[in-house]
Amino acid sequence: MPPFLYTLLVLLLLLHIAPWCSYVAAADDTLRAGQVLAAIGGGRLVSRNGKFALGFFQPAANITGSKSHEHTTSPWYLGIWFNKIPVFTTVWVANREEPITHSSLNSTQLKISSDGNLVITVNHVDRGTESLVWSTHIVNRTKNTTNTTSVVLLNSGNLALLTNSSQQMLWQSFDYPTDLTLPGAKFGRDKVTGFTRRVISKKSLIDPGLGPYSVELEATRGIILKRRINPNVVYWQYASSTSSSLIPILKSLVDLDPQTKGLINPIYVDNDQEEYYMYTSPDESSSSFESLDISGRIKLSVWSEAKQSWETINYQPDDPCITPATCGPFTVCNSNAQPFCDCMVGFSQKSPRDWEFGDRTGGCMRNTPLNCTSVKNMTSSTDMFHPIARVMLPYKPQIMVDATTQRECEEACVSSCSCTAYSYNNSRCFVWHRDLLSANLNDGIDNTAEDVLYLRVAAKDLPAPSILRKNKNYLIVGVVTVASILGFGLIMWLVVWRNKLRLCGLPLWKNQDSGCGIMAFRYTDLVHATKNFSDKLGGGGFGSVYKGVLSDSTCIAVKRLDGASQGEKQFRAEVSSIGLIQHINIVKLIGFCCERDKRLLVYEHMINGSLDSLLFKKSSGNDVVLNWNTRYQIALGVARGLSYLHQSCRECIIHCDIKPENILVDASFLPKVADFGLAALVGRNCSRVLTTFRGTAGYLAPEWLSGVAITPKIDVYSFGMVLLEVLSGSRNSAETYNTSGSYYVKYFPIQAIDKLHEGDVRSLVDPWLHGDFNLAEAERLCKVAFWCIQDNEFDRPTMGEVVRVLEGLQDTSMPPIPRLLAAMMQECDAPSST
């Protein structure tokens, strides 16, 4: 064999035996030349102290707890996170602007490029090319210097690109923070090069992309917080001249808490080369970070081993409503409420899922479009204006110089179909076109605004007619006159009435969420409002419900309780449970009446009635047939309401009687859980409660029949039975029918579990939909239903897990056949003849 052929053969053999690169070991802290970190396979770097890890991750899967995130379509990122803390918390993200799609995940890897940079690349095998996703972008590097650098994840959580010869640091992640900084990381600027370490908030809990807020240290103004996008404005700053006083303030805040005392040591440095803030942690075993959160506030967080959660030590600014447009368009911000963001009247959340994960940039959208037309400079509109009192006016108003009265100001807004609101004060007229941003309610502390914003809404979305507004001046005079005459009498009446309420044994609460108290009504007022209880909406074992209208034209539903003993129990249960909570999917208790033996509850009126009237009263006539999307959203809304009752209230509340009759539907088909007369309150330190037997046949969990102490899982069981009725549009109750002299029992849950396991969910869906439904959602809903009605309560999901599955954020497997249904199936296999 010629020498050159022998040499070529040896080279080919060596190439075959030794691959060009190797995969990095899972527990190593260093990525060396020739090694790659693959996106698939779970490879990662771990700091030597085990405190931090670097690898590819999927925010949606880690936040929502999905166990099958490899098969979802949500994007992937390269980042660093706390390795030993059970709450997944990222501290740095490389490609926050260039997420990796699921389709390219198999060919994505982290490596050191030929010019010595750390890069994320995607190999396109079909095209024989490689695309760059992210790079450290070190300039003045020569080609073919791969072997001169390596990457190390340091014990501090800093990712460093070092030269192999002198260990010189060429690049570090601490210089390019995302939304937070760690102990030992500098936050500031280089006076020589002008380089600034800027922190930018992330978009949401599941999207680490560039959010709307940033914080940096400027040469002249010191620390500044600003909104990066419209409106672009600086809203908080701390001058460098006062930095000497900031350090002891931060130190004292940390030392106030015994759990965090001595954990953090803040530092400020200002010399000829640089100016920066930094803090160190003497206790290396502790974990902390300083971040710019989604709402635009700086917060210092420390991990609490005792509570197994992140504890916030300090917020800046204190008021969450100071951050501009933090709640998005067409919202109001109330710093005294929790949550502090809410939609304006006539508007609903544009994306409830985004709100759930902290992204409120989309704000709220109209429930009903404005009825406004413009033809040849003539505008016609039947819209109304809803006043929002004591509010800081939104950004970017337009001043109408020619409007010198409030009527002219209103007409100036009506004359343009794009006008969304106006305000008139001190002979000055302001109007707003399109989005309204940063309408903040007076909190009595940082915001003492007394302005009134008149919001333009469709007439049908107005909570009460505003005809009296036109006679506002006369009303003011009348109110003042009446108040001066009857003031003393009113005070005496309140004293007497309060004493009567004390005799009932009921406190006068103040709702912590809304800041509004529950109203105490006189019996005569409710008699007048209901026209002597003439318009009956429905009834039950504890009394009847009547429609009424208050003096301000608010529609109400009045429940009049019957029975001295049982009615009193239901009255107290309902007021003590629903009276303390507020949620979009929980019916709102407006007030109550407690006079002598009279016990009445006053609720908001739901125009579409209860779910059973919408599901089970379909015919060829004019009755409404709920479309699939409405049904699915109703199911999801009820799940959210129950999840709130079980997991988010100050006291865990078990409803005890979930059924379609106790699910009310408003004008927008938004569901609200109602009728808390059987509810049981369970302390947060208690998981079970022993109660008397209650509920409705057909929705009762098996454990209740055995007399054991109950848990929130009884509501989960009832909800599962309701889901099956939403799916089929019919009652679950057994029906007997005759065929050739033999009787058969038709029980829908038995059919449904059989068809589900056969893969034939389509045949289970309400035939009135005529096949117009989402099959994937129907299968998901059916699976959830049967997981909810498992015999063993420990096999049932929590309502929080149900919400995640229905939202499509978490997969669910095929549920087993409940033992009770399996036994019934055996009995029903053969018909019994007469």
Q: Which residues are catalytic?
A: 657
Q: What are phi and psi of 168, to 5 degrees?
A: -70, 135
Any idea which residue has 């498992």 for tokens? 790
CB 310 within 8 A of CB 283: no
* Residue tagged 């990457």 (tokens): 151
The CA angle 658-63-215, to the nearest 5 degrees, is 125
Please tell me the total number of residues recorded for the chain in this structure. 834
DSSP state of 439: E
Alpha-carbon distance of 635 to 485, in angstroms, equals 52
User: Which residue in the block uniquely carries the two structure tokens 């490689």?
Assistant: 130
For 441, counting Cβ atoms within 10 Å of its Cβ (0-12 exposed, 13-18 middle, 19+ buried), the class is buried
The Cα–Cα gap between 799 and 810 comes to: 13
Tokens standing for 522? 């006189």
Q: How far apart are CA 261 and CA 256, in angstroms?
A: 7
**What would the two tokens of residue 319 be?**
């008021």
**What's the farthest any 2 CA atoms get from each other in the chain?**
122
- Which residue, 751, 815, 760, is CA-closest to 789? 815
Rg (C-alpha) for the chain, rounded Å, is 32
d(CA 443, CA 390): 9
DSSP code of residue 361: T
- Report whether 716 contacts 798 (CB < 8 A): yes
Strand order in the sheet with 222-227: 199-204, 207-218, 222-227, 233-238
Cα separation, 3 vs 567, in Å, equals: 105
Q: Which of 419, 422, 416 is nearest to 386 (CA)?
A: 422
DSSP structural state of residue 607:
T
The SS3 call for residue 100 is strand
Cis bond upstream, residue 324 (ω within 30) = no
